[in-house]
Structure 1
Amino acid sequence: MAATITHITCQRLTFSWPDGTPVLDGLDLAVGPGRTGLIGLNGSGKSTLLRLIAGELTPSAGVVRVAGEVGHLPQHLTLDTGRRVDDVLGIARTRAALHAIEAGDTDERHFAAVGEDWDVEERTRATLEQLGLAHIGLDRTVGEVSGGEGVLLRLAALLLRRPEVLLLDEPTNNLDVDARQRLYAAVSAWRGVLVVVSHDRELLERVDHIADLREGTVRWFGGTLSAYEEALAVEQGAAERMVRVAEADVRRQKRELIEAHDKLAGRARMAKKAFENKKEPRAVMRARKRTAQESAGKHRILHEERLEKARERLTEAEGAVRDDDEIRVDLPFTAVPPRRRVLTLTDAELRRGARATLQLRGPERVALVGPNGAGKTTLLRTVAGELAARSGEVVAHVPLRHLPQRLDILDESLSVLDNVRALAPGADPQQTRARLARFLFRKDRPDQLVGGLSGGERFRASLAALMLADPAPQLLLLDEPTNNLDLASVRQLTSALASYRGALLVASHDLPFLRGLGIDRWLRLDGELTESEPL
């Protein structure tokens, strides 16, 4: 890596989409050497910021300066399946020239193409081995590798370029457990400037700093995700105490204002009675009345100003408390008695050729793990009745619902409320609104069209539609549910599933999320479905 200090600087960075939707407005950011975890709510602009730094987008205003070459691994990676592996890795021209020289062709162009990179193949194979891709031949095509391997290939290409600045956007999405471990090792070994956008807790435990992008501003925290959460908990605890103090002050100022009004009203009654009794000259009485009125007005204004200032302090204190509410839902109709049969697979052959035998009983929570391409999604779709097994038997003994990776179960032209009612047509609309509030769709939010929802809102709407369906699902099938969710949404999902009383079958590579669900059994699919040790 270069000996000079590399860095990223953004000044007054502003960006809006062509339709006018604002994303960033006057953002200032400075990133130095080390590994930075960039976190924030869905829709806060993290991916857009990386694309601006990489030069893939042009800011509406402001400047981006980067010292050093930039390598960018985007969140949604599309590779031409017809390209060869060496072409994706960026070594095809150098490799072809090297082979021509080895074959006896001394054309000067070949030597110019190789330059000083005579060990390009050895260096490439070492990088591929580091990422668990040693089995992939350089002459193969991208169409012959899995999606997860494609992500690692693109990362290998970046590592071979040795950029001074590396930008990774949700790099562990679609990676199986083994591939994630290799990516963690690559990140831990990185020297230089690295910015990673991720919700992967294990990955964020390997960074040096956390940058929290929230409401258009970045706040920095030293250390890993755990250190950030500890610091934030202390900060939020203090903020909540300030809210309680401010609320008490508002109540006190209201009480004192009422008491002042009562006292002044009593004085006014006494003055009126004295005036009527004419115990003093009329001019004296009028002067005293004017003085009393002026004094009362000043007194009232003083208390009203105190109350207004107390309200301002309360608003300021409330603004410091984060509104990352948790989903809390009590769904008694989803309950499954212990030992009741929920799902039976008897020597079922899936379309990908894998075979599965399984008995799922009671409110079991089962994790489904295995390498990419093993057929986990196919298994869930087969259980859901979306695909037919080639042979064997698949029987669901209870009502079930399936949440696919793509979250494509909702009608985008309908509102959140109408989508939920489509799966529970007999439900009372007001009762449905009350239940949606528990999924954080409050006030008029249930009336918003699904097509206009953010990623996190779309996920909550999909989850609500499934969990509030009629009949109530006593078996939930979840396929990589934390992909593309921010950390707050993952916490919301975990809290929602904590109150779910049915059985769960969850395919995921996100081990911290699975552990947080209280998994009862671990199953591994890799040709055959087998019991696995807890991961």
Structure 2
Amino acid sequence: MSYAIVCSDLSFAWADGSPVLTGLDAAFGTGRTGLIGVNGSGKSTLLKIIAGELRPASGAVSVAGEIGYLPQNLVLDGAATVADLLGISRVRDALHAIERGEATEENFTAVGDEWDVEERARAELDRLGLDHLDLDRTVPTLSGGEAVMVALAARFLARPDVLLLDEPTNNLDLDARHRLYDAVASWTGVLVVVSHDRELLDRVDEIADLRDGAVRTFGGNLSAYEELLAVEREAAERAVRAAETDVRRQKRDLVEAHVKLARRKRYGAKMEENKREPKIVMGARKRQAQESAGKHRILHEERLADARDRLGEAEDAVREDAEIRVDLPATRVPAARTVATVTGLTAPDPDVGTLAELIVRGPERIALTGPNGSGKTTFLRTLTGDRVPEGTDVKIGVDGVRYLPQRLDVLDDDLTVVDNVRLRAPSAPPSKIRAGLARFLFRGTRAERPAGTLSGGERFRAVLASLLLAEPAPQLLLLDEPTNNLDMASTAQLAQALTAYQGALIVVSHDVPFLRTLKITRWLRMDKTTGLTEIDPL
């Protein structure tokens, strides 16, 4: 198999000495590769090294052709235009100058062979659902999703040999995501995409899993890869059970050996006491028994050690990301209780079925969808009482309302995990807080770490713990794009926690597979023109 990207013995550490990659070897094929791994495993760092944005401490990278790179966090010039983002401003200006009669050598050189650059740019924008954008429109007037899609259009327009995408579906609404899926499916060059988006990862040709400092590559999409892992896990679990049985057997054999040796020792002592045999014969027997006993004990101890080693290897082969286990009975809301009422909902051009009032009752699970910029985040903040528009009235019928913003910025970085939870549950006994944190995988000294030192996945769990362990217990939970920037293990942990949650839930998300795991009871769509409407399940 030919490889488009080869990484040899790569090592990289941050300025403070924290290692990210150590002696990493990896190779990516000529098709589309989905690069997965837990938060903090080094996926984005690896992409930046391949793109030339970071220089490794050691090792080498070989790339077959020109690279196009879309980072996870775009840094955009506020004065830039759509044409600037597309990288066509210089050629476009030269074209317009020639059209005005300024047929200079400098303008012709600038254009080169790009006479159709505007037409190609508009076609690329149209393919990604951005045909409404003018090329002279400035960055500040774009939504976050539109800016990402324009940047993506720029990479497609440049037609690089190798395209690197880092979490491209973050901040994209459903329509934009599906256009991205189609664009990725039709990409004929080399593509490496870091993502936790299951639907996107089901459109790649191979999966590369960066775990424990090594990359394992599998031919096939994410679903096929997970099926393989399930088979491997089943085999590993069988090996664990067999190894555990072997350890128990070796322990039993060792105990029996000690019993037999003790009997021989007592027999020898009795013979010596009764002096039934000559002293020289008894001495020889004693030495022989001691040597035999030592060899026997060593043999059984070695067998037990070997069995324990096999058990350790078998347990290491069981791939399982730690699961959080929570029990949240205090969040329960009776089915008949009115949790929240929002009246005075208006829209500029209401459609048939537009809601003028939203009533949330009992432990409802509501998914709030809609295009970027439609006001979903504003609506959640309305429910918290933070921003209530004029003419709108909000009534909350439960004690605890908790809001999880997109940025997960609800922790005090200078406080420990324990102290952050204590802020939201000041009357809870320390033992109760620590018991709760243990279920979120913060045991012992881990709970004493400052929030500012946590990895992405750890920070997510700490945020979740601070919300769900709060007092009064949250009976209305508002989540704003909770799976953005979460790896698949953390997304699964969030779903586990929300399965135990018994209160009302309103979640803004474009992650349809995640929403389905939550057993959503009502689906709402928000549009800034037509307002809030109920829709069929996605």
TM-score by length of 2: 0.96
> Cα deviations across residues 243-301 of structure 1 (Å, max 9, x unaligned)?
11111111111111111001100110111011000011111111111111111011001
| Equivalent position of 2:459 in the other structure | 458
* Alpha-carbon distance between aligned partners in 2 of 1:139 and 1:463, rounded to the nearest angstrom: 42
Deviations 1:176-216 (A, max 9, x none): 11111111111011011100000001101100000000001
**Aligned partners of 1:61 and 1:77: how far apart in 2?**
27
State how 1:113-152 maps to structure 2 within 5 Å. 113-152=110-149
Separation of aligned partners in 2, 1:285 and 1:67:
81
| Helix, strand or coil at the partner of 1:263 | helix
Determine which of 178, 181, 205 is the counterpart of 2:202: 205
Q: Distance in 1 between matches of 2:147 and 2:355?
A: 26
Correspondence list, 1:93-108, <5 A: 93-108=90-105
* Amino acid in the other structure paired with 1:385: G
**Who is 2:447 aligned against?**
446
Where 1:178 maps in the other structure, the secondary structure is helix
* CA distance in structure 2 between the aligned counterparts of 1:188 and 1:155, rounded to whole angstroms: 14
Aligned letter for 1:487? Answer: M
Q: Tell me which residue corresponds to 1:529.
A: 532
| Aligned partner of residue 373 in structure 2, secondary structure | coil
Check whether the contact 2:355–2:533 (CA below 8 A) recurs between aligned residues.
Answer: no
Match of 1:20 in 2: 17
Paired position in structure 2 for 1:503: 504
Q: How much has 1:516 moved relative to structure 2?
A: 1.2
Alpha-carbon distance in 1 for matches of 2:536, 2:71: 33
Listed one character per residue, the Cα deviations across residues 357-411 of structure 1 (whole Å, up to 9, x for unaligned) are 3100000000011111111111111211222332221111112111111111111
> CA separation in 1, counterparts of 2:473 and 2:24?
46
1:168 equivalent in structure 2: 165
Separation of aligned partners in 2, 1:17 and 1:460: 24
**Structure 1 match to 2:33:** 36
Q: How far did residue 78 of structure 1 move?
A: 1.9
Task: Supply the distance in 1 between the matched residues of 2:96 and 2:501 (Cα, whole angstroms).
Answer: 61
The whole-number CA distance in structure 2 between the counterparts of 1:449 and 1:238 is: 39
Q: 1:379 and 2:379 equivalent?
A: yes
Q: Secondary structure at the match of 1:122?
A: helix
Indicate whether 1:345 and 2:342 are aligned: yes
Question: Residue in 2 aligned with 1:402?
Answer: 403
Partner of 1:391: 391
Task: Name the SS of the counterpart of 2:392 in structure 1.
Answer: strand
Query: Structure 2 vs 1, CA of residues 358 and 170 (structure 1 numbering), >3 Å: closer, same or farther?
Result: same
Please name the residue that 1:487 is paired with.
488
In structure 2, distance between residues paired with 1:83 and 1:47: 26
Contact 1:14 1:25 in 2 (8 A): yes
Q: Secondary structure of the residue that 2:47 maps to in structure 1?
A: helix
2:53 is paired with a residue whose SS is coil
1:148–1:175 CA contact under 8 A, matched in 2? yes
One-letter code aligned to 2:200: L
Q: What displacement does 1:328 show?
A: 2.2
Please point out which of 286, 292, 295 is paired with 2:292.
Answer: 295
Unpaired runs of 5+ residues, structure 1, are none
Partner SS for 1:462: helix
Q: Deviations over 1:19-52 (max 9, x none)?
A: 1000000111111211100000000000000000
> For residue 383 of structure 1, what is the amino acid of its counterpart?
L
What secondary structure is seen at the aligned counterpart in 1 of 2:41? coil
Which residue of structure 1 lines up, in the alignment, with residue 4 of structure 2?
A: 7
Take 2:107 and 2:27, find their aligned partners in 1: how far apart are those partners? Answer: 42
* Whole-angstrom CA distance in 1 between matches of 2:282 and 2:377: 90
Query: Runs (4+) of structure 1 moved beyond 4 Å?
Result: 353-356
Distance 2:238 2:434 in 1: 32
Amino acid across the alignment from 1:476:
L
After superposition, the C-alpha distances for 1:504-526 in whole angstroms (9 at most, x for unaligned) are 00001111111111111011111
How far 1:6 moved relative to its partner?
A: 6.9
Answer yes or no: is the 8 Å Cα contact 1:348–1:390 preserved in 2: no
- Does the 8 Å contact 1:40/1:486 carry over to 2? yes
- In 2, the alpha carbon distance for the partners of 1:356 and 1:397 equals 19
| Identity fraction in percent | 65
- The amino acid of 1:533's aligned partner reads D
SS at match of 2:372: coil
Deviation at residue 442 of structure 1 after TM alignment: 2.4
Give the equivalent residue in structure 2 for 1:357: 357
Q: How far apart are 1:356 and its partner, in Å?
A: 6.0
- Give, as a single letter, the amino acid of the residue that structure 1 aligns with 2:377: T
Distance of 1:165 and 1:445 partners within structure 2: 41
Q: Does the CA-based 8 Å contact 1:6-1:68 persist in structure 2?
A: no
1:515 matched residue in structure 2: 516
* Separation of aligned partners in 2, 1:356 and 1:255: 73
Contact 1:6-1:193 within 8 A present in 2 as well: no
CA distance in 2, matches of 1:80, 1:529: 34
Structure-to-structure mapping, 1:212-291, within 5 angstroms: 212-291=209-288
* Aligned AA (1:455): G
> 1:56-95 maps to which residues of 2 (within 5 A)?
56-95=53-92
SS at match of 1:444: helix
Is 1:480–1:509's contact at 8 Å kept on the other side of the alignment?
Answer: yes
Amino acid at match of 1:176: D
CA RMSD of the aligned region, Å? 1.5
CA contact (8 A) 2:67 2:161 kept: yes
C-alpha separation in 2, matches of 1:391 and 1:81: 34
**Post-superposition offset of 1:349:** 6.6
Per-residue displacement from partner, 1:452-487 (whole Å, max 9, x unpaired)? Answer: 111111111111111111111111100000000001
Q: What is the alpha-carbon distance in structure 2 between the residues aligned to residue 491 and residue 251 of structure 1?
A: 34
